[in-house]
Amino acid sequence: MEKSGSWREFPSTLLQGGRSPRALRVAAFTILILFLVLVYGGSSSTRASFGNHKRPAEPAATVGVPRPSRDQQRLMDAASNATLGFSSIQFINLPGRFDRLDAASLQAWLAGIDITETRGVLAAEINDVGMPPEHSPRLRKEEKGCWRAHANIWSQMLRDKSPAVLILESDASWDIEVRESMSLLNQHFSSLLDKVQSRPLPNHGFLSRPSTSVTPAAAAAATTTAAAPPPPPPAPAPAHPDDPWQSTHWDLLSLGQCWEGPDNKNVSVRYPDPHVAPGIDYWGEELGAERVVRQSGGIVCTTAYAVSQTGAAKLLLRTALDLDNPIDLIMRLMIQAGDLVTYSVAPTVFAQWEYRDDIGMRERGANSDINSPDGDGEPNLSGWEAVKHTGSVWRKKEGHTSISFKDMALERAWGFIFGQETTLERSQA
């Protein structure tokens, strides 16, 4: 008895030149499936890069990490746009620090982000008559200038009613894939807000404040009716791509602190990020290619942080009353007192860079706009032979233990722009 046709006979049918309609239909369907798999299921390494560099092939997804929902993906996409989901990225830079402006411009171009230069405030511009009161005068003019540069942004935010802004200091560095890292952070930051049952913070700005007008009827009712209990806090509105970081829920989001205390270290979400070099210690736990987003325990350093409207108002008011400490320590004290709702991430997404010690820049004082130059006499120039081969005069800030870039944009810039086979020595006189 002849066997009936089956899918197992499909290949031989085609090879033998079979012309049955069933075989042709099966062949057409199979070709269509293969085409769709190639188009939609191909290697992710063919995706366009965020910045002006070729994106390497991405590793396989970590087992156990749920795929984001469609709404989550919209937020993640917004958080990885050219301003990383904020209304702007403000880059503070002193007049004359052309080297730092150029370093930031190269990093931004390679990573595909948009930064806006904000003028720093020189020590020579600080006049006591224009400074806030100080119950314990101790700040140097350089420290006051640093505070004022940040305060100028907070002040502008309140005048413009601006949503959250990301502030970078002039020595900020980042990984070349910072946009993808911010997308991943956004997904798990939203999970942390859900975990702590976060609600929008009180906003007493005019546009957000409830109406205080009382109608005659309401006034009459109030005199005859017992006081009702206060209404429960409103449920949070769903997050929207216009504000993917839900900035009404926090005052600060620290992305570049150089140190942080252990308080609240367990109010956190740990998650994978392929752009983190493994091995960072998180309070006794060694992290892999991972980060931890957490409720802050009090930060030091303001290399990179996002500030919301409520955060800008609190910081401006606190420092207007008493400018008694450097700005990062004031933030730290406010966080520890519960006056500044702050979240942070470790390892940090941004960090400080500095020049190598052995190319003469340390003696100039080029590694700090606040502290005095290091050393006197002849500069140490012994590192130039290494620079010829590495194509980098920059490095991660020494002593900052939470830096874990896999591909620091400044360190990799030469290889991306000129190619690994080209060395600085070729174009030196």
* Chain mean position to CA 261: 20
Phi and psi at residue 286, in whole multiples of 5°?
-85, 125
Candidate ranges 206-210, 249-253, 369-373; pick with highest mean pLDDT = 249-253
> Which residue in the block uniquely carries the two structure tokens 């239909």?
25
User: What average pLDDT does the structure give for the chain?
Assistant: 85
Taking residues 11-39, what's their average pLDDT?
50
Taking residues 257-269, what's their average pLDDT?
97
Class of domain 70-200+239-351: alpha beta
Residue 285 CA: distances (Å) to CA of 270, 288, 299: 11, 10, 20
pLDDT digit string, tens, across residues 270-290 = 999 999 999 999 999 999 999
Share of the chain above pLDDT 90, in %: 69
pLDDT for position 17:
43
> Which residue in the block uniquely carries the two structure tokens 């944009």?
409
Q: Residue 367 pLDDT more than 70?
A: yes
Taking residues 178-183, what's their average pLDDT?
99
**Residues facing 196 on adjacent strands:** none
Instruction: Report the interhelical angle of 327-336 vs 309-321 (nearest 10°).
Output: 110
- Nearest in space to 190 (alpha carbons), one of 65, 305, 312, 293: 293
pLDDT for position 178:
99
Domain limits of the chain?
70-200+239-351
Tell if the pTM clears 0.85, that is, is over it. Answer: no
Q: Residue 11 pLDDT more than 50?
A: no
What stretch of H or E contains 151? helix 141-160
Higher pLDDT, 252 or 378: 252
pLDDT for position 69:
93
End-to-end CA distance of the chain: 88
Alpha-carbon distance of 331 to 260, in angstroms, equals 12
Taking residues 300-322, what's their average pLDDT?
98
pLDDT band at residue 42 using 50, 70 and 90 as cut-offs: very low
Q: Residue 426 pLDDT more than 80?
A: no
Contacts of 267 (CB under 8 A, 6+ apart): 192, 195, 196, 294, 295
Q: Which of 64-68, 292-296, 340-344, 407-411 has the lowest mean pLDDT?
A: 64-68
Alpha-carbon distance of 343 to 296, in angstroms, equals 5
Higher pLDDT, 235 or 389: 389
pLDDT digit string, tens, across residues 403-421 = 999 999 999 999 999 997 7
pLDDT band at residue 16 using 50, 70 and 90 as cut-offs: very low
pLDDT band at residue 44 using 50, 70 and 90 as cut-offs: very low
- Nearest in space to 256 (alpha carbons), one of 45, 400, 411, 417: 400
